[in-house]
Structure 1
């Protein structure tokens, strides 16, 4: 996994601030492979309850992470019980590693 302990703590903290302590965040995509360089940070946040303003919070999370971790590209998916899962969600949930 190509994230530092500080980056992991920062991501988890920002997710909790916006989505609450029940939210779980996983890293998926190229950052899981230690042999690859570069790439965006792909995150999927899963919530046990429906989320109001899901898209707004998703954008706020990306902005907050860029401010705290530097101008890096983030791809963020937020899944709650109201989200209809597509193949990208399925892949992220199947391959993602909890932070």
Structure 2
């Protein structure tokens, strides 16, 4: 995984601040490939409870992460029990590594 221990800690802490302690966060996509270079950080936030203001919280998380780990592209998917899963969600669930 091409994230440092510090970046992982920041992602976990910031996600909990924005979405609460009950959520899980996974990294998926190119950051899992140790031989790749560059690329964005793809995150999947999974909640067992319905999330109010999903888009607002997703934007807040993106902004805080960019401030804390550097201005780099970050893509965030958020799923809760009300989310209709599409192929991207399923791929992230199946291939993502929980932080």
Which bin holds the TM-score, normalised by the shorter protein? over 0.9
* Equivalent residue, structure 2, for 1:51: 51
Superimposed CA distance per residue, residues 14-55 of structure 1 (whole angstroms, 9 cap, x where no aligned partner): 000011111000000000000000000000000000000001
* Equivalent residue, structure 1, for 2:14: 14
Q: Which runs of 5+ in 2 are unaligned?
A: none
Q: Hey, which bits of structure 1, 4+ residues long, moved more than 6 A?
A: none
TM-score normalised by the chain length of structure 1: 0.99
What is the count of residue pairs matched by the alignment?
99
Q: Which runs of 5+ in 1 are unaligned?
A: none
Give RMSD over aligned pairs: 0.3
* Equivalent residue, structure 1, for 2:25: 25
TM-score normalised by the chain length of structure 2: 0.99
In 2, the alpha carbon distance for the partners of 1:81 and 1:15 equals 18
In 2, the alpha carbon distance for the partners of 1:57 and 1:29 equals 22
